[in-house]
Amino acid sequence: MLPTEEAEDDDGDEKQLSIIMTYPLAAPSSVRNMDVIIPYTSDMPCDPRGQRMWWAFLASSMVTFFGGLFIILLWRTFKYLWTLCCHCKGKKKDVQRVSNPVVLSDGVIKVVGQRESEVAVTEVGWMTSVKDWAGVMISAQTLTGRVLVVLVFALSIGALVIYFIDSSKPIESCQQFDKDYTLQIDMAFNVFFLLYFGLRFIAANDKLWFWLEVNSVVDFFTVPPVFVSVYLNRSWLGLRFLRALRLIQFSEILQFLNILKTSNSIKLVNLCSIFISTWLTAAGFIHLVENSGDPWENFQNSQPLSYWECVYLLMVTMSTVGYGDVCAKTTLGRLFMVFFILGGLAMFASYVPEIIELIGNRKKYGGSYSAVNGRKHIVVCGHITLESVSNFLKDFLHKDRDDVNVEIVFLHNISPNLELEALFKRHFTQVEFYQGSVLNPHDLARVKIESADACLILANKYCADPDAEDASNIMRVISIKNYHPKIRIITQMLQYHNKAHLLNIPSWNWKEGDDAICLAELKLGFIAQSCLAQGLSTMLANLFSMRSYIKIEEDTWQKYYLEGVANEMYTEYLSSAFVGLSFPAVCELCYVKLKLLLIAIEYKSDQRESSTLINPGNHVKMQEGTLGFFIASDAKEVKRALFYCKACHDDITDPKRIKKCGCKRMLYSKSNYNGYIKSINDELNPTFLPQNPKPALMRVQCAVRGPPAVRSGRVSVPLVNNRKGSLLSPAASYLHRLSLASSRELYHSSSAGTGASDAIRLHRACSLPVKYRYHSSHGSTSTIGPHTLLVEEEQQSALSPKKKQRNGGMRSSPTCSPKIIRHDPLLVPGHDQMETMDENIKKYDSTGMFHWCPSKDIEKVTLTRSEAAMTVLSGHVVVCIFGDVKSALIGLRNLVMPLRASNFHYHELKPIVFVGSLEYLKREWETLHNFPKVSILPGTPLSRADLRAVNVNLCDMCVILSANQNNIDDASLQDKECILASLNIKSMQFDDSIGLLQANSQGFTPPGMDRSSPENSPVHGLVRQVSTTTGANIPIITELVNDSNVQFLDQDDDDDPDTELYLTQPFACGTAFAVSVLDSLMSATYFNDNILTLIRTLVTGGATPELEGLLAEENALRGGYSTPQTLANRDRCRVAQLALYDGPFADLGDGGCYGDLFCKALKTYNMLCFGIYRLRDAHLGAPSQCTKRYVITNPPYVFELVPTDLIFCLMQFDHNAGQTRTNLSSHSTFCPSKKSPSALSIPSSARPGRSRSRDLRDKQNLTTAT
């Protein structure tokens, strides 16, 4: 049949004609008419008959696909047959070679074999190289491969976009290639696809499976039709929609570009790409068949649908909504919908919910931190809970600090709960939270750890396994340091022995600010200081915690307590107006005029590393740039020390008027302080000595030449701590170098025999510390045999204004004779005495910071109940410990070390008696066996018989600890053992006559009963514990895990259960301590790492980085011989409590001012007062039966004193105090026994059930001491 024209332009214009064409599909005899609209223009070299050519496009794809598949199968068949044939021939050749081995010579056979193998190798090598090259080009292993893969994907999406554009045109149309830009672009894309197809084909190992891949099928039905279009000048939309299947590779492309890194993101992109590509491909097929019609209907049943209407149709079909406004009319379209709805519905029902779930489960806090210019940020990680975060933020963002321009970034792998989220929202201007782990470098990059000012790691103080918690924090430190070695890290540690693991991290450097806050070390150190001065733990805890001032108008004890609580510890550089003044003078000026309490200073110089000096004394003069440690109510007040100018502020009485003036002076701040200054004259600064002092020897006279401090014997620099680990004071170093030089000169100048021995004795005398040398009361020389030794004039005590006054030990040495002066004549010259001084006796550890004794077996210090009952214990420390063989170790060494500090003399050491499970104490004993005066009573702290056996009513302090980690849901039951033990002791009654009878036996007088010391001596005013008849008056400090349990310790208080710990009566009185108060140290250490150094020095008794290194090596103290260097380390101050009811300050106790007491103690005895321990009902004015006391920190100058007050003070070390008890107790005469080494015993003859030999042995071994 001929085509029928429906419309024609007679004028021959270039209008497009609509031609309805029919052409035969089968034989001419049986044909069916098919009418289709084809655009046509006269200048287009298209078929003038308008005949459709869709079959040519489809045939090109089908021929390519099936032709290639046939060739591959044919090649495989021939290859299989050839291999089979060659295999049979190979067997025959092998048989022939074996049966006729001599037919050919060996050389000929060998040459032929080499040629065959070379040819095979050459062929395989060439094929392999080409194949490897193609594989590299299409893989993402190299940069070229990644670029090529990404480019192919991008061009595929471009081809899909061209399809979207062409879908608005008819399905088939005549187009001229040189004028159709979309066709040109599409042609270029497909040429590239063809080349890429060739690379993929070469690199494929299995050509058959490659031919059947989805990407290959897409190329078969999209690339050949483009070439047909160019040849026929026709365009058929056809199967070009298959390019949408390339979207399935979208996740792979994003992974190549390192955009997708998490499994959830990869899974989400995979689901979305599969869903969208299937959706678009199916819409393309519906668009093709609905716009073309069914072939068997001569394409008469077509309907005009745009591509996007088909997309809409498939979406409502997959979702089973089916509005019916758009539907398929062709048979092919409906048939396709029947099958698609099955798969589409299944895909929609499974993919869409999973996609929504992945999007919904996407981390709410999964973004990245954006640093703000000019604003620092810190990263806080570890144990992130509502309690830990609220405590941290409360202290870190306290208003008493200067403007905190620091943003806090919390990083935790668990999303916050609603309460914690609300807390973050309340502080949204300075707090951000991100979900992640510090063990993941990607998360560290998200929080910008490389630009963070510091990283703080919080620990779970209430965990069941402290070692596991410490291990977790150590791993966090390792991960952070591995990512950025220079980051400053402040971490909390639960166990002291785990601090040693931090030293194994190469980039851990405490010199650069890295710090580990060991909660067990500080907690037990605080408790130990309370054993020396009750209430000190509360005072120190309040000093480094930021507390707001709560004003109370009523005259109650809370009013004075809260006024002291408002004080904190700050650091500030001292003004140049203080240069040249001694420390006591500066301290007095700051307190009286500036209303600031200066307790310590830090020196930095070229000769020495930085060291912190606590109340150093008269011999230390201020330099430019000296850093001071102050106690004040806020940071603004401390600025007065920096702004003070003598010319401008000397006549100002109101400290608030002290502002920065215009005088020319050097102002130091932490930002511009760069290791300061020039050396100051030795006369003004006796702590700095010449680098190479030269000793002079005149007529075998040893003359000490050096700075005035050395010449006068004032070598008492209290080196408390050294930031670089050095424990040698400059004066001690000078004497050591002097002694070495003297020994060398004496060696060359002395003769054999007596002369040589005299020279050696002279060298030993010169090498002794100044306090051990002979001091004449009238002259400066003393004759030693034929030689003369130049010595110094007797030095006045640093604590006493008169030579015959002495400073007693803290709450100790009641029976010391007051007639002993500070530098008593010690006749060194005698040969016998020199040999005695040279004995191999180790009294202190290798650093000289702690008393030491040879290790003792635990059996030798274990007491039975009867032995303990017959042993008179008084002025001792009773440690009640709950624990068993399974309990975690709490590190009792940290409790004992401050009580065995070397700035106490041996007779001043308080005996320590542990009452608890022997199995537990055996595990702790490895760290305790080198400390003297330690005893163990196996038992339970809940047994009154055990408590009476250790004379708990005569102890200076009873400490109640628990090593049991109770995993109890009810927090109130966590401290049940400690609370029961505390209430048990308080309810006990004692007969004081028994204690007095035992104490008076053998002429012993209990502490506090001796008043033989002079009235004006400060030792006369030191507090001494007296015997009590009721357990309520026994000094007790109880460790609590849960803060709210403090309400159960005192039955007569009215504390609300919701009251904060520091506001409760037991904490204010110093009878309760919780580890939660140490949380404030994190923020305090961040703002000023010197605060942690000062606190650690005060509470640990002098632990230094050097000592920590030794404990990390051996886990035990190492004994050392006494040298000038180690003996100089004893010269450091200590905390004491001074009573006002008697002694040199009794006149100020009744209505005097605290400021007058402060100045008198500082000027007269170099004692620095910093607080009051007052009776709770002292403000009532009437006598009260209550013996409870509370802490008042840094009272004002006009604060009125009462006779019952106890004063917290920092006392200087007294060299002479140890000479009075040398005949009573010494390390050299101590022999371990099963008795308490520092307890006075009832005569052995009075003990029943003992053999005579045991009595004699015990009598010989027991040492009598207080």
Query: Is residue 836 over pLDDT 50?
Result: no
- Mean pLDDT for 244-271 is 87
Q: Supply the DSSP string of 917-937, one letter for each residue.
A: -HHHHHHHGGGTTTSSSEEEE
* CB-based burial, 117-129: b 16+ in 10 Å, e otherwise: eeeeeeeeeeeee
**Whole-number Å distance between alpha carbons of 1249 and 1233:** 18
DSSP 1254: H
For 489-514, write each residue's pLDDT tens digit. Answer: 999 999 888 888 998 899 998 888 89
**Per-residue model confidence (pLDDT) at position 517:** 93
Residue 88's pLDDT band (boundaries 50, 70, 90)?
low
Most confidently predicted of 94-98, 428-432, 841-845, 1243-1247 = 428-432
Residue 1155 CB burial class (10 angstroms; 0-12, 13-18, ≥19): middle
Better-scored residue on pLDDT, 135 or 849: 849
Most confidently predicted of 58-72, 602-616, 1191-1205 = 1191-1205
Among 346-360, 396-410, 788-802, 1189-1203, the range scoring the smallest mean pLDDT is 788-802
Residue 289 CB burial class (10 angstroms; 0-12, 13-18, ≥19): buried
**Whole-number Å distance between alpha carbons of 627 and 633:** 18
For 26-83, write each residue's pLDDT tens digit. Answer: 333 333 333 444 444 434 445 555 567 778 888 888 898 899 889 989 988 888 888 8
**Per-residue model confidence (pLDDT) at position 991:** 81
Query: Is residue 747 over pLDDT 70?
Result: no
Residue 92's pLDDT band (boundaries 50, 70, 90)?
low
For 954-970, write each residue's pLDDT tens digit. Answer: 999 999 999 887 666 67
Q: Please list the residues that pair with 1036 across neighbouring strands.
A: 958
Among 338-347, 679-688, 1205-1214, the range scoring the smallest mean pLDDT is 679-688
Among 503-512, 531-540, 598-607, 988-997, the range scoring the smallest mean pLDDT is 988-997
Hey, which CATH number is domain 376-513, 3.40.30.10, 3.40.50.720, 1.10.3720.10, 1.20.120.420? 3.40.50.720
**Whole-number Å distance between alpha carbons of 1141 and 344:** 95
**Per-residue model confidence (pLDDT) at position 664:** 47
Backbone phi and psi for residue 225, each to the nearest 5 degrees, phi listed first: -60, -25
For 1085-1131, write each residue's pLDDT tens digit. Answer: 998 888 888 888 888 877 777 777 777 777 778 888 888 888 888 88
For 163-189, write each residue's pLDDT tens digit. Answer: 898 888 888 777 777 777 888 888 899
Query: Is residue 203 over pLDDT 50?
Result: yes
Residue 355 CB burial class (10 angstroms; 0-12, 13-18, ≥19): middle
Query: Which among 985, 963, 959, 1185 is positioned nearest to 1072, based on CA atoms?
Result: 959
Query: Is residue 760 over pLDDT 80?
Result: no
Helix 583-592 vs helix 1154-1165: crossing angle, to nearest 10: 170
Share of the chain above pLDDT 90, in %: 29
- Whole-angstrom distance between the N-terminal and C-terminal Cα of the chain? 134
Most confidently predicted of 556-570, 610-624, 735-749, 1217-1231 = 556-570
**Per-residue model confidence (pLDDT) at position 37:** 44
**Per-residue model confidence (pLDDT) at position 24:** 34
Q: Supply the DSSP string of 130-197, one letter for each residue.
A: HHHHHHHHHSSSSHHHHHHHHHHHHHHHHHHHHHHHHTTS-SEEE--TTT-HHHHHHHHHHHHHHHHH
The mean pLDDT of the chain is 74
Among 136-145, 227-236, 389-398, 1198-1207, the range scoring the smallest mean pLDDT is 136-145
- Mean pLDDT for 676-701 is 34
**Per-residue model confidence (pLDDT) at position 719:** 33
Q: Please list the residues that pair with 235 across neighbouring strands.
A: 173
- Mean pLDDT for 869-893 is 90
Q: What ranges do the domains of the chain cover?
A: 1-51, 54-360, 376-513
**Per-residue model confidence (pLDDT) at position 921:** 94
For residues 727 and 683, the answer to whether their CB atoms sit within 8 Å is no
**Per-residue model confidence (pLDDT) at position 472:** 95
299 conformational bin, left if phi > 0, alpha if psi -120 to 50, beta if neither: left
**Per-residue model confidence (pLDDT) at position 1027:** 61
**Per-residue model confidence (pLDDT) at position 619:** 84
Among 416-430, 620-634, 1022-1036, 1070-1084, the range scoring the smallest mean pLDDT is 1022-1036
